Copies of this chain bind each other. A is one copy, B any other.
Amino acid sequence: MKALLLIAHGSRRQRSNDEVIALAEKLKTECAEHYDIVQAAFLELADTLIADGIENCVRDGARQITVLPYFLNSGRHVTEDIPHDVDAVRPNFPDVEIQIAQHIGASTAMIDMLKATAVNAV
């Protein structure tokens, strides 16, 4: 089974975290052909944290997990913190393949999305 774990920063404002959880729910529907499990997790400040999110996926049967950072910039969180948290739990699940996808800000479609928003606003 394949799992997708959407990782956001996490906020003290629960409404922000709920937006991410709702996004993961939508993504679950959209990616049903490709992923059996789609869940949200957070780097800090909110439940579920990355390690717990990975553990939940494995417990639900995942043997391939794709971690997708919902971050705009390739800052420390993307380049260091998320890989660190993922690497910390890898030894616990030697039979599970865990990979980190590119952060969403690196998507080539970002410029099109910004353009659409900018043009609609004129």
Q: Which A residues lie at the B interface, using CB under 8 A?
A: 2, 4, 6, 8, 11, 13, 15-16, 19-20, 23, 26-27, 30-31, 34-35, 64, 66, 68, 70-76, 99, 101-102, 104-105, 107, 109-122
Contact = CB atoms under 8 A, between A and B. Distances in A.
B34 A68 contact: no
A35 B121 CA distance: 11
A20 B72 CA distance: 9
A72 to B, nearest CB: 6
A104 B75 contact: no
A99 B120 CA distance: 12
B73 A115 contact: no
Nearest to A26: B111
Nearest 8 interchain pairs by C-beta = A101-B121, A16-B73, A16-B75, A66-B121, A30-B115, A109-B113, A107-B113, A34-B119
